[in-house]
Structure 1
């Protein structure tokens, strides 16, 4: 009996040691943009030991449902974003977490997966059910295999492009039903700490809202002998600030987010609130420490937390430091419903050349012509592109895929154009709002962060607008008209034929015909009339 108790105690101790490797951190960053708007970023991360969690089937702070999905489908890393609205680079600068409008998912699978497409479909469907999203609509016609873009961000033994899949759903909307299961993945849920400030109803009143979920393996040593699992969750929003007296955009956390800070998450080892504000901004209470425009509140060391207010000592002044050096915009060209094109404009205001990788996917029902691809500078001179990859679409099987490298010269503008022809869809392939049109996903431009003045290493992705295209739509009222006409013709023709074939015709004597009910009724009425007229006549 004592030996059994000793084994149980040892097992509990071992499990406790394994769970102690879990580290949870949370932070909230608030940054005032040049347009009197507030950019807020909620970031939550959980780092755990791979050996203690995935292999031992024991989870402490790391969400078990994510761990089961990663293990079942042999996922090396995945990145999911669901965004409502368009990020305005000219007004807000570069975001901390870049994401296109709609839903975006890209996954690296472990080497050795036999059927990557089956694992991709299964993982997308499982993630769709987990987050109450429409990721189950990701199929062959939305999936591509990038050749240059979307490099692995975590540890991956060897880079084989056969094991990466990418898809985007431009029309996917972000709802509160997506945020609720997302919050349940946090160690403290939405009950304590910074996550308590996330009010789903309040977030949907913002100009921009993006939800992120990223998983990857990391290593702390050069020769990776023990991998760790890292899950990062983020919420990015942009709120409008109300200008007070003398155009001062004073605000507080409670005014913007609708809730107050109350304590920290007891499971988080680090809980920070960061303000990126100009020097003429006074914060109350005073921050824990400051570093230039960065003011930091360490909630773990603070005895009391509550509302944090930001007040301007003088009128807010716009700064040109946050204006991005590289901007990109795309739109549809052409008139009518037959021919069209895509025109993208990339502007580089930096004092040096910027090397970029451009990727574009086009739906299969738009017939893209590669020979019409043109890349010119602002003077109209053609420019060279490198490492061009073009995969033409297969009808109802795969989209068009175009990817290449391009060097954008300093202080110049590059124009990229490409022509296409609209195809036809069967009437069952149109959505319920067919006249609304279809969407082409954002063009993805990948650049080095240091080349565009971000001051940090790593790849920065720039997403353009999604493009709406109208394709020929059939007359959906025609089936109704045909049904009405056919029913009318059948009713008239079949009714007459039915009467002729089912009625019995008999020869009737004319004298007997006058003895019908109607004739007798007429006779009585005539007699009554005669009697009345006769009584009224004077003798």
Structure 2
């Protein structure tokens, strides 16, 4: 028998032996049932749908457990249970789900891992990472990075529909990629070298364009993006901490960034809640944000007992009707006429149809949203994987369609259950009115940025801010602009509109401007060296609208400095607005970013050099040919040309051969 046949025969033998062994133990699910049974759900009569009335009561923990026990008893093998005699590592994972208005649903994936380390380990000591990703650990060690924050953003967040950002915006970034870090070094020049090395290393790790980060796109914030760890205050550092930040708004976010993100997890995206994630589903969402935060905290002011913590988060908003339509029609095409739902109160025939309003009914599962189910919990985590629902139980039904149902649902401010086994979990959602959701908290302020002007030489910025609350707010505005945008602070004009609708215009010459703008941090750009850096600390009165306008000039670029598709324009990174606690100026209560800006610059005709080259070469070839003929050739009569030709040695030799062989 050939060896390649063993590749097919051995798994069958193992499968048969496993089936016989499992079936011999009464009351245990057979291996064959786990493999050949329904991958996604049980038959409808066996699925255990938890009705909302069973979940609202605070004393339903025992009741729910009894109801689950009334079904056919099934126990898993000992190796599949969470409390097996295996080692647990310092990492946790949590999934939170919240329905929103408009058929949207928010999915928040949170992962945490940590390790104990020394800031200055000797070269002879072996470094143990456990579940902390070594790929990141070695980069942080080689660049002396003590704190690192990464943000990947894709799509558009509608705050009117979706309310406040998750975690008050602390886990969200603008469109593109954003990075800031605190690096320990003996001098700023040395720290900047580490910063460039860090960016280049992360570029290879996350398949992103961090390697394009240099001094021309790097800023040093003074009021925002401050340190979150205690390493500077509680540790005896050998050097100083230097703060750097940069953003690449043009960077597209795709599966190439998600794959290394998942590889940092202990489960590598193969088990636990991360097994739901896939690029083709995730980046078709209305809005997607990925974040990585690494903090270093030391105890008792020492450097030998420090904890390095890693927090990873993915937040995305899916529009359920769109996702289901794309599942039904992967290739977009018009809806067949037989499936159109027309308004019967209006004229409708083969050529006319007034569509009905979309039905508020929703019925979907994890399989519909992601094309897969949760492949059990993370069995190496220090705590069981949890899934929680921030949901209106009076209008929504949550059920499980799994081989092994959750042990129990429990109420801990939200409806939750733990993934205690390695089996697959699929959760169903059903409602007759998707507009009935839990209270959606609105953001504490509204802000936007827009461009004005149409000139190729100059333009303007407009920042709009509205405080809808009943109290005054302290806001910090952070804006970084490319070096080719020359911002003029003396052109600042502030328009204040109070709650009664009265407007007042203030410029830099008005003393009243200091009542609203408390502090200005401005670092002008240096051509091709540093960007424009502007920070404003303002006081926004209650129910007041503020409009800031600036003027700027556009610089000329070199031919080689234009990016591909230069006529598209240049992306400007979002403006950051942050609500600051009045009593604690370092405490950011809420932070958000505007959309990116698209700036057009004077763009040369890139085809002109090629046209000039072609025209020049054509003229040169024609001129060269004519001049060459005049220099090396002589104009003679036909008789003179024949006589000169007959006098050539070759012609004389030919004549001798003709005479010798009798030819004329």
Q: Distance in 2 between matches of 1:397 and 1:118?
A: 15
CA distance in structure 2 between the aligned counterparts of 1:506 and 1:329, rounded to whole angstroms: 83
Match of 2:536 in 1: 404
- 2:487 aligned residue (368, 371, 378): 368
**Aligned counterpart, 1:522:** none
Give the drift of 1:313.
Answer: 5.0
Q: Which residue number in structure 2 is paired with residue 439 of structure 1? A: 571
Q: Distance in 1 between matches of 2:120 and 2:267?
A: 19
SS of equivalent to 2:559: coil
**Could you tell me which of 120, 141, 149 is aligned with 1:79?**
149
Q: Is residue 332 from structure 1 mapped to residue 451 from structure 2 by the alignment?
A: yes
* Residues 1:22 and 1:407: Cα distance change in structure 2 (over 3 Å): farther
2:159 alignment counterpart: 89
Following the alignment from structure 1 to structure 2, what is the Cα–Cα distance between the partners of residues 405 and 225?
39
Deviation at 1:460, TM superposition (A): 2.5
1:380 maps to which residue?
A: 504
Q: What is aligned with 2:277?
A: 198
Q: Which moved further from structure 2: 371-380 or 355-364?
A: 371-380
Aligned mate of 1:242, from 321, 339, 350: 321
**Deviating runs (4+, > 6 A) in structure 1?**
52-55, 159-162, 220-225, 510-513
Cα deviation for residue 506 of structure 1 reads 4.3
> Matched residue pairs, number?
490
Q: TM-score, normalised by structure 2?
A: 0.69
1:157 is aligned to 2:157: no
Note closer, same or farther for the CA distance 1:318–1:342 as it changes in structure 2 (3 Å cut): farther
Q: Quote how far apart the aligned CAs of 1:122 are.
A: 0.4
For 1:103 and 1:74, the matched residues in 2 are separated by 22
Shift of 1:317: 3.2
Deviation at 1:303, TM superposition (A): 8.5
Aligned positions of 1:92-491 closer than 5 A? 92-96=162-166, 97-110=171-184, 112=186, 115-158=190-233, 163-218=242-297, 226-242=305-321, 246-270=359-383, 271-279=385-393, 280-285=395-400, 288-292=409-413, 294-300=414-420, 305-312=424-431, 314=433, 316-317=435-436, 321-378=440-497, 379-382=503-506, 383=513, 384-448=516-580, 459-491=589-621
**Could you tell me which residue of structure 2 aligns to residue 37 of structure 1?**
104
Q: TM-score, normalised by structure 1?
A: 0.84
Cα distance in 2, alignment partners of residues 65 and 53 from structure 1? 19
Q: Is the 8 A contact 1:83 1:102 kept in 2?
A: yes
- Whole-angstrom CA distance in 1 between matches of 2:379 and 2:213: 38
SS in 2 for 1:331: strand
Aligned counterparts of 1:512 and 1:76: Cα–Cα separation in 2: 92
Residues 446 and 196 (structure 1 numbering): CA distance in 2 closer, same or farther, change over 3 Å? same
Secondary structure, counterpart of 1:154 in structure 2? coil
Q: Which moved more, 1:196-205 or 1:378-387?
A: 378-387
8 Å CA contact retained: 1:91, 1:323? no
Shift of 1:414: 1.2
Name the CA distance, whole Å, in 2 between partners of 1:71 and 1:272.
32
Distance 1:503 1:25, change over 3 A: same
Q: Where do 5+ consecutive residues of structure 2 fail to align?
A: 1-85, 325-357, 401-405, 498-502, 507-512, 647-664
> Counterpart of 1:16?
none
| 1:150 positional shift | 0.8
Separation in structure 1 between the aligned mates of residue 145 and residue 602 of structure 2, nearest angstrom: 40
Contact in 2 for aligned 1:22/1:49 (Cα 8 Å): no
* Counterpart Cα distance in 2 of 1:223 and 1:118: 26
Gap change, CA 1:354 and 1:161, over 3 Å in 2: farther
Give how far 1:512 is off: 7.1
CA contact (8 A) 1:77 1:217 kept: yes
- After superposition, the CA RMSD in angstroms is 3.0
2: distance between equivalents of 1:349 and 1:299?
42
Kindly state the Cα deviation for residue 112 of structure 1 after the two structures are TM-superposed: 4.0
Give 5+ residue unaligned stretches, structure 1: 1-18, 452-456, 517-539
- Which 10-residue stretch deviates more, 401-410 or 302-311? 302-311
Give the superposition deviation at 1:164.
Answer: 0.4
Deviation at 1:488, TM superposition (A): 1.6
What does the per-residue CA deviation read over 1:16-65, in whole Å, with 9 as the maximum and x for residues that have no partner? xxx97941111111111122211112111101112499775112111112
The CA distance in 2 between the partners of 1:222 and 1:299, in whole Å, is 39
Alignment check: 8 A CA contact 1:288 1:296 kept: yes
Matched with 1:57 is 127
Matches of 2:186 and 2:397, distance apart in 1: 56
